[in-house]
Amino acid sequence: MQGTPARCPEELTRSRLKRLGEGIGKVVYASEHWVVKRERTPTEVVSLILLWKFLHRTAHHLPFGWGDRLLRHPSREIRFLRAVAHGLMIVLPKSLWYTTHVSTVLRRYVKHDRRGERLARAWLTGTDLLPQRVSFPPATVLVSGWPGWLVVSEATERVEATLDKWIDHLAASNRFDEVELWLNRLIDTRQAGWRAGLFSTDAHLKNFGVVRDRVVLLDTGGLTDRWSDISARLEKDEQIAEPHLKLGLGAALAGRPEIAARFNTRWKATVNRESVREHLPG
């Protein structure tokens, strides 16, 4: 249950935690059943934003398909490039990096992250749309890599897999009935969120996870209850011809165009202003 144990789960302090995943704003470390999150510093977030902008602009011009590979498999090389960017940011004047545009992006990111967190706490606590969370008095845990330790007062249930990895795994094992089932569950989870009054403007597969037979939202950043934000996002999304490609499902569904077509049909019939509006309360 949310917030019941008054102590940090023992397995979090038993040994050094491994890095499990990361996004623009957070690095996630895990023990067997729990994860804890470290918030990146603004400098880290800015170096990542700049790195992404650079990669997206130059990906197709880099030799040997490096850029495209980086965008598809971001973990290792991007971590290295980010370390370089971060280093440069420390030695070069701040004004160079905090150009108006970058600071706007950073502020928007932080604002959306905080707002999503607040909305999720208010409206989704205890629902099965989120993984379980526990709060406890601050505890120090050891983590791999820099800075080696972390003070946390909250832990989140570790999901079996993020949805992108789970779908790739099912597709690689030729379990396409299940691929389709889980894609439908993703849409079901999104609709349940809308019925609770919330819409995720950052709904990519890495931000969702698998818990038993459910899809849960891992990243509350980008959740909004404001129709102007929702409709602006949807107006853009409605232009997408093949949503499965945009969601990074191109490779998984390459051999199964009929599944891609069914998914795209349901997605388009659901993820649009009219349908979302019908689900929202009030």
Ligand X SMILES: Nc1ncnc2c1ncn2[C@@H]1O[C@H](COP(=O)(O)OP(=O)(O)O)[C@@H](O)[C@H]1O
Write out the residues near ligand X by the rule CB under 6 A: 20-26, 28, 35, 131, 156-159, 162, 206-207, 209, 218-219, 221
As given in the structure block, the two tokens for residue 98 are 């905090």
Distance, CA of 197 to CA of 169 (rounded, Å): 32
CB 204 to Mg ion: min, Å: 8
Residues making contact with Mg ion (CB under 5 A) = 23, 207, 219
Q: 159 touches which of ligand X, Mg ion, none (CB within 5 to 8 A by kind)?
A: ligand X
> Which residue's Cβ lies closest to ligand X?
23
Q: 115 touches which of Mg ion, ligand X, none (CB within 5 to 8 A by kind)?
A: none
Phi, psi of 5 (to 5 degrees): -65, 135
Distance, CA of 112 to CA of 24 (rounded, Å): 12
What lies within 8 Å, CB to CB, of 233 at 6+ separation is: 199, 201
Distance, CA of 195 to CA of 189 (rounded, Å): 10
CB closer to Mg ion, 193 vs 264: 193
CB 75 to ligand X: min, Å: 10
CB 30 to ligand X: min, Å: 6
CB closer to ligand X, 209 vs 260: 209
CB 258 to ligand X: min, Å: 29
Nearest to 130 by CA among 201, 184, 193, 180: 193
CB closer to ligand X, 21 vs 197: 21
| Angle 116-191-111 from CA coordinates, rounded to 5° | 15
CB closer to Mg ion, 8 vs 163: 163
